[in-house]
Every structure is written in structure tokens, then in C-alpha cells.
């Protein structure tokens, strides 16, 4: 019954070609024969069919258990991403809100973070660059190494924030300390960075000490809800995804409370399509059960609305999405190539398969723009900073097209809007060329 039902679902495929070899060796083909995306699946056990009907969680768990295989995981997930758009509306109506995803209370958030980030620094060192930066890199130079692209991303953030030696920068979400170290060593500012991961706190503290920057960088083991003080600038790189949708309003309110009235904030966030947000935030999935417990991606509209409600105005949003597939692809290939080292460290075959699937899953999501990543530059009401950022604020609301203007005025936008200097890939910049923003007399301070 489970097999017949799942194969009936596959017969509805429109956006890709999937060839399935079942546990008896029989072959089945689904989807248009001339489809751009193609993948093959080999089912090893009849138990897989029942698992497939449990959505992404069942697919992932059965893959981890070795019940099925595919040599084209990324194309397979891309096909799934395209098909899911047809069902977002129905999912929004069927999912009971606030029942399936646990709330990230202060105590529970620590457990959720530990479940991912405290898995062991040795695990992450298998696939991250030496800086241990675990967020989207900036491959404006396609020849760049992963380390160079990560440094470019960090530097872009520092320049956008107009960091100066007399600034005190707050970072929410320390990671392994790469942003704090870069800001303090390259720009001379003071940095207070906070995390609730005990492992990352220990590692970041040690790296700060080794770099001789203990007088400039303070690493806290503290929840963002418990922070005190006022800071000139604030940065948070891909931490909001762990906040939990129930706490998005509180997160942005705390950010505005912690910023100086003339302060700047840079938020790098992974975001999900608006059509999928309501369903995803309430659904139990492979990612929020096995990889990032309690996690939830905001939508661009949610960020725009909540920042405006806290008095933060959007100066610009730089779309980094085109750089994430390359970032994750490098992580994935490095992880796979070092599988034996992972095994020697105690990570068993099921764990390794689940993480290989996780990295493939994320890469596919970005390639299909089911998920996107943006750097949001936000300003407090009293901000009177560089002429470039203030010009961008004015230009984005007066000269840009409706997508950019909606973000600048915090009216709910249909998706990420971008502004980028000439050093960014033309496909990123093209979104605004027709809006009258394609020529600038000189490069802004945060451009290469």
C-alpha cells in the first residue's frame, strides 16, 4: 500500500525526471522525459516506502539507515523543492500552528544549540576553512579559495558597518570567533561577542587569547535576551535561524534596545520564501528535528516588518544567495572526502549519511532559491553616517523599483532586494540596473 501510494505521488511530477529502481530490481520512471533536472534512486528495502510518506523526516531517516541511495542527491532535492511550491498553500491550511515545533525558551535554546554546535570542533574542522567560519562566503572572485571568500564576506560586513577604532561592536552569535577576530584585528574596534554554545565559547575564547586580542575582544556565554548595555554597532551572521519564530519579535526588539540611538546593525540571515514560511515554521522537518532543533527561517517580509516595528530602518539588503551553493558545495565535498577521518572521530555511518544529506539539502535549496541569504544593513533613527549609506537609504525608497522601495520603507516586500557595488557579480547587480542605480561616481567604502 505505501509503495503504491508513493509511486502514485511520483506520477504527478512536473519539474524533473526521477528513475526509481525498487527493492526487486524493477525500474520505474516519473516526470517529463526531457526534464532539465534528473535523478536516480535505488530502494534497498520495502521499509523505505512507508518512510517516504513521512515527508522530509522520513526520507532523511531512511537515507541515514541505508534504505535507499542516490548518486544525484542535490538534483533530487532540487526537484523536490520545485514540486513543493505547488503545495505550499495546502500545507499552510493543514498544519496546526504551535504544536509541532518546540519553543526556544532560554533553557531549551541551550539544549538546541548544543545539539548542533557542541557536536565537536573536530567535526566542523573537517569541512570549514581554517577561520572556522560557518556561514555564506562571498565568491565575488570566483577564483577565490574558501578561506579568501570567507574573509571577503567578513570584510564586507565590517565596511558596511563603518567600523572605526572607537566603536564598540556587539556580535550576537560568536561562532568560533572569526568575525570578532577580524573586526578587532583589522579595524581596531572593541568587540563583545556572545554565544550559548559552551564548545564555541571555549574555542572562541582560546582563539582570542592566541591572537593577543583579549584586551579588545570579550567572549560571553550569554543568551541575547540577557545582554545589557549599549553598543555603537551590532552584527549577527546567520544566528537568527536558531532564534525560533515565536521569538523573532523579541530578538529584533532586543537588538534595537542594545544599539546606540545612532547605531548600525548588519544582519546576515537565511530566509525562506514567503509562501512557505507559515507552513515551515510550524512543521516538524528533517532539518529542525535532526540538524537544527527548534530552528526556523524567517521570510524577507517578516524581517522587514519586525525591524520597522522596532525603529530600525533598512538602508539596503545585499543578496548573497548566488554564493551559497558554492560555499555549501565546498563544505559537502570536503566532508565526503574526509569520511574516514569522521569515522575515526566516532561519527558513525548513519550520522555521516545524515550530514551528507543535510549539506546536499541546503545546497539544493539555495540553487532553487527556495531559501535565500541576505545581508540586511539596518540603522537606528538617529543614524547620520556615511554619505554612501544615507544615499542608499534615500535611493532605495525614491529611485529603486517597487521591490527595493518596499524594503526600504519596511512595507512587506515580495523577496530579497539588492544593491551592490561593481565588484559584485553582474547577476547580483542587475536587479537594480533598470532602477537608476547602476552608476556611481566612486566605490563606497565597503566595496573591494
User: Which residue segment(s) compose the domain that 252 sits in?
Assistant: 107-437
Asked if the structure places residue 160 within a domain, the reply is: yes
Asked if the structure places residue 442 within a domain, the reply is: no
Cell numbers 534596545 label which residue? 257
Q: What are 138-182's pLDDT values in tens digits?
A: 999 999 999 999 999 999 999 999 999 999 999 999 999 999 999
pLDDT given for residue 1 in this prediction = 84
Q: What percent of the chain shows pLDDT beyond 70?
A: 83
Q: What are 337-375's pLDDT values in tens digits?
A: 999 999 999 999 999 999 999 999 999 999 999 999 999
Residues 213 and 68 in one domain: no
Residues 45 and 141 in one domain: no
Asked if the structure places residue 445 within a domain, the reply is: no
Residues 180 and 299 in one domain: yes
Mean pLDDT, each 10-residue run in order, the chain (448 residues): 93 96 96 96 97 94 97 96 82 58 84 92 98 98 97 98 98 98 98 97 98 98 97 98 95 98 98 88 87 94 97 97 98 98 97 98 96 98 74 41 33 36 29 29 41
Q: CA 397, CA 403: separation in Å to the nearest integer?
A: 10
Residues 173 and 67 in one domain: no
Residues 64 and 142 in one domain: no
Q: CA 379, CA 389: separation in Å to the nearest integer?
A: 9
pLDDT given for residue 394 in this prediction = 45
Q: H helices of 11-101, where? A: 47-52, 55-64, 73-84, 88-94
Asked if the structure places residue 444 within a domain, the reply is: no
Which string of DSSP letters, residue by residue, matches 138-205?
--SSTT--HHHHHHHHHHHHHHHTT--TT-EEEEE--TTSHHHHHHHHHH--EEEEEES-HHHHHHHH
283 in helix, strand or coil? Answer: coil
| N-terminal to C-terminal alpha carbon distance within the chain | 59
Contact 150, 132 (CB under 8 A): no
pLDDT given for residue 338 in this prediction = 98
Residues 272 and 345 in one domain: yes
Helix-then-strand count for the chain, H and E: 20, 11
Q: Mark which of 35, 63, 94 sits at the end of a domain.
A: 94
pLDDT given for residue 284 in this prediction = 82
Residues 68 and 159 in one domain: no
**Run of H or E including 44:** none
Q: Where are the beta strands (DSSP E) in 238-396?
A: 259-272, 313-319, 371-379
Asked if the structure places residue 358 within a domain, the reply is: yes
State the pTM of this model. 0.85
Q: Which three cell numbers stand for residue 398?
A: 525614491
Pairing of strands 259-272, 371-379: antiparallel
pLDDT given for residue 386 in this prediction = 67
Q: Which residues contact 445 (CB under 8 A, 6 or more apart)?
A: 159, 162, 386, 388
> How many CB atoms lie under 10 A from the CB of residue 291?
19
Residues 206 and 112 in one domain: yes
Q: Mark which of 94, 116, 148 sits at the end of a domain.
A: 94
Q: CA 181, CA 301: separation in Å to the nearest integer?
A: 32
Asked if the structure places residue 431 within a domain, the reply is: yes
Residues 77 and 207 in one domain: no
Residues 83 and 172 in one domain: no
Residues 343 and 277 in one domain: yes
Residues paired with 29 in a beta bridge: 19
Q: Which three cell numbers stand for residue 294?
A: 527548534
Asked if the structure places residue 101 within a domain, the reply is: no
Q: What are 260-284's pLDDT values in tens digits?
A: 999 999 999 999 998 889 888 877 8
Q: CA 272, CA 290: separation in Å to the nearest integer?
A: 19
We report the CATH number of the domain holding residue 155 as 3.40.50.150
pLDDT given for residue 161 in this prediction = 98
Residues 297 and 205 in one domain: yes
| Number of domains making up the chain | 2
pLDDT given for residue 93 in this prediction = 64
338 in helix, strand or coil? Answer: coil
Asked if the structure places residue 443 within a domain, the reply is: no
Cell numbers 541546503 label which residue? 362
Residues paired with 374 in a beta bridge: 269, 319
Q: Mark which of 50, 72, 94 sits at the end of a domain.
A: 94
Amino acid at each position: 500500500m505505501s509503495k503504491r501510494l508513493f509511486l502514485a505521488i511520483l506520477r504527478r511530477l512536473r519539474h524533473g525526471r526521477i528513475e526509481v529502481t525498487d527493492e526487486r530490481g524493477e525500474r520505474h520512471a516519473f516526470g517529463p522525459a526531457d526534464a532539465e533536472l534528473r535523478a536516480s534512486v535505488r530502494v534497498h528495502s520495502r521499509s523505505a516506502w512507508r518512510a517516504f510518506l513521512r515527508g522530509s523526516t522520513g526520507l532523511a531517516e531512511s537515507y541515514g539507515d541505508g534504505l535507499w541511495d542516490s548518486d544525484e542527491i542535490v538534483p533530487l532535492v532540487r526537484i523536490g523543492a520545485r514540486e513543493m511550491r505547488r503545495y505550499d498553500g495546502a500545507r499552510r491550511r493543514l498544519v496546526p500552528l504551535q504544536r509541532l515545533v518546540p519553543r526556544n525558551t532560554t533553557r531549551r535554546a541551550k539544549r538546541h544549540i548544543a545539539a548542533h554546535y557542541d557536536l565537536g570542533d573536530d567535526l566542523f574542522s573537517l569541512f570549514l576553512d581554517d577561520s572556522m567560519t560557518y556561514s555564506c562566503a562571498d565568491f565575488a572572485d570566483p577564483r577565490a579559495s574558501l578561506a579568501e571568500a570567507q574573509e571577503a564576506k567578513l570584510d564586507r560586513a565590517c565596511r558596511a558597518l563603518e567600523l572605526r577604532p572607537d566603536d564598540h561592536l556587539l556580535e550576537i552569535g560568536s561562532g568560533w570567533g572569526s568575525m570578532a577576530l577580524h573586526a578587532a584585528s583589522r579595524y581596531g574596534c572593541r568587540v563583545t561577542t556572545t554565544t550559548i554554545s559552551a564548545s564555541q565559547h571555549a574555542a572562541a575564547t582560546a582563539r582570542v587569547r592566541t591572537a593577543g586580542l583579549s584586551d579588545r575582544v570579550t567572549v560571553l556565554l550569554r543568551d541575547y535576551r540577557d545582554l545589557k548595555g549599549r553598543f555603537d554597532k551590532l552584527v549577527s551572521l546567520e544566528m537568527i535561524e536558531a532564534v525560533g519564530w515565536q521569538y523573532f519579535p523579541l530578538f529584533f526588539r532586543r537588538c534595537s534596545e542594545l544599539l546606540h540611538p545612532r547605531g548600525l546593525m548588519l544582519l546576515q540571515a537565511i530566509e525562506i520564501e514567503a509562501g512557505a514560511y507559515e507552513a515551515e515554521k510550524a512543521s516538524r522537518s528533517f532539518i529542525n528535528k535532526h540538524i537544527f532543533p527548534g530552528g526556523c527561517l524567517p521570510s524577507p517580509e517578516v524581517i522587514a516588518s519586525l525591524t520597522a516595528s522596532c525603529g530600525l530602518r533598512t538602508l539596503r539588503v545585499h543578496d548573497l544567495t548566488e554564493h551559497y551553493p558554492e560555499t555549501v558545495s565546498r563544505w559537502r565535498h570536503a566532508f565526503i572526502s574526509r569520511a574516514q577521518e569522521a569515522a575515526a572521530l566516532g561519527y558513525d555511518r548513519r550520522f555521516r549519511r545524515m550530514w551528507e544529506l543535510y549539506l546536499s539539502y541546503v545546497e539544493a535549496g539555495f540553487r532553487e532559491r527556495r531559501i535565500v541569504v541576505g545581508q540586511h544593513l539596518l540603522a537606528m533613527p538617529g543614524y547620520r553616517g556615511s554619505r554612501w549609506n544615507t544615499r542608499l537609504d534615500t535611493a532605495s525608497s525614491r529611485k529603486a523599483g517597487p521591490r527595493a522601495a518596499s524594503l526600504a520603507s519596511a512595507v512587506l516586500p515580495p523577496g530579497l532586494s539588492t544593491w551592490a557595488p561593481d565588484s559584485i557579480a553582474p547577476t547580483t547587480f542587475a536587479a537594480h540596473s533598470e532602477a537608476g542605480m547602476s552608476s556611481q561616481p566612486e566605490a563606497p567604502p565597503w566595496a573591494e
